[in-house]
C-alpha cells in the first residue's frame, strides 16, 4: 500500500515564516531556514515553501532563501509564489527545489503548466489551488488567487481537471474556509477533487489535531496532508503525528 505523506508548509513573508487564519492577520513565527531544518530532523516527508506576497507584489521567488532552505533538507522540497515564467521555474529548481507550485500565475497563464511539464516533467509541476465555498459555482467552490484576495470565475473542480490535462502532476488543494482554523480539513472539497483527477491530491487548510489527518486521508481520499499550525505551535511534532496515524492504521513512513 502506498504510504500517505505528511508535508509541512512554511508560508513566508518578507523572508520570515508567517501564519494567519483564512489568509488574514499574519504573525511572524520564525526563521524559515531553521524551521525547515527542524522539521526535516523530525521526519517530515516533504516541505512546501510559499512566498505568500510574491504574486500580489508582482515579483519573482527569493532564490537566496530557497537555496538556504534546500541546503538544510534532503527530502522533496516544493516552492511556490511569484513563479510566472519558464525562467522562474528553471532558476527555482536550480536553487534547490524539486517541485514548483503554480497558483495565481497558472490561472493568469495556463500555458505555463503545459510548458513547465513539457520541459521539466509532470512530477515537477504542482497546481496550488485556493478555493472557497460558493453556491453559485457548479461544484460549490470558487477558485481565488493572489493569496486568497481575488475571486476568479473558475470553478474548483473544472480548474483541477483542466490543470491535470495541461500537465500538472499533483494538486495542493487549500480550503480558504478552513485555513488556519485548526477545526479540520474541508473533507467534501478534497474528496470531490481527489475522486475526479488522476494525480495525487494534497489536502491543505484546517489541521488542528491528528484525527483531522486521519479523516482527510481516509474519508477525504487525500494522498497527503499538509500541516502548519499544528507543528508551528509546538503542540505536535511530525514524529508524534506519524505515531498516532500509525496507530489509526494509516500507512506512513515512520
Active-site amino acid positions:
11, 130
Grid cell for residue 233: 505551535
Are 176 and 50 a contacting pair, CB within 8 Å? no
Beta bridge partners of 5: 224
Beta bridge partners of 74: none
SS (H, E, C) the chain: CCCEEEEEEEEEECCEEEEEECCEEEEEEECHHHHHHHHHHHCCCEEEEEECCHHHHCCCCCHHHHHHHHCCCCCCEEEECCCCCHHHHHHHHHCCCCEEEECHHHHHCCHHHHHHHHHHCHHHEEEEEEEEECCCCCCCEEEEECCCCEEEEEEHHHHHHHHHHHCCCEEEEEECCCCCCCCCCCHHHHHHHHCCCCCCEEEECCCCCHHHHHHHHHCCCCCEEEECHHHHCCCCCHHHHHHHHHHCCCCECC
Amino acid at each position: 500500500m502506498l504510504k500517505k505523506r505528511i508535508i509541512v508548509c512554511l508560508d513566508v513573508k518578507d523572508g520570515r515564516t508567517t501564519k494567519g487564519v483564512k489568509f488574514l492577520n499574519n504573525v511572524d513565527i520564525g526563521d524559515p531556514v531553521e524551521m525547515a531544518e527542524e522539521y526535516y530532523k523530525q521526519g517530515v516527508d516533504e516541505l512546501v515553501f510559499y512566498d505568500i506576497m510574491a504574486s500580489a507584489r508582482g515579483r519573482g521567488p527569493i532564490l537566496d532563501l530557497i537555496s538556504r532552505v534546500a541546503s538544510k533538507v534532503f527530502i522533496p522540497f516544493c516552492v511556490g509564489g511569484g513563479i510566472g515564467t519558464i525562467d522562474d521555474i528553471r532558476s527555482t529548481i536550480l536553487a534547490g527545489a524539486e517541485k514548483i507550485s503554480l497558483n495565481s500565475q497558472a490561472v493568469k497563464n495556463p500555458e505555463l503548466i503545459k510548458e513547465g511539464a513539457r520541459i521539466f516533467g509532470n512530477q515537477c509541476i504542482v497546481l496550488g489551488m485556493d478555493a472557497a465555498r460558493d453556491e453559485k459555482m457548479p461544484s460549490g467552490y470558487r477558485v481565488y488567487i493572489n493569496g486568497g484576495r481575488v475571486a476568479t470565475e473558475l470553478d474548483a473542480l473544472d480548474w483541477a481537471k483542466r490543470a491535470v490535462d495541461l500537465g500538472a502532476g499533483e494538486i495542493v488543494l487549500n480550503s480558504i474556509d478552513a485555513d488556519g482554523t485548526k477545526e479540520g480539513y474541508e473533507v467534501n472539497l478534497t474528496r470531490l477533487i481527489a475522486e475526479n483527477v488522476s494525480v495525487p491530491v494534497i489536502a491543505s487548510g484546517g489541521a488542528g489535531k491528528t484525527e483531522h489527518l486521519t479523516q482527510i486521508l481516509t474519508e477525504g481520499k487525500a494522498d497527503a496532508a499538509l500541516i502548519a499550525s499544528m507543528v508551528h505551535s509546538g503542540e505536535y511534532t511530525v514524529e508524534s503525528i506519524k505515531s498516532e496515524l500509525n496507530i489509526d492504521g494509516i500507512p506512513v513512513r515512520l
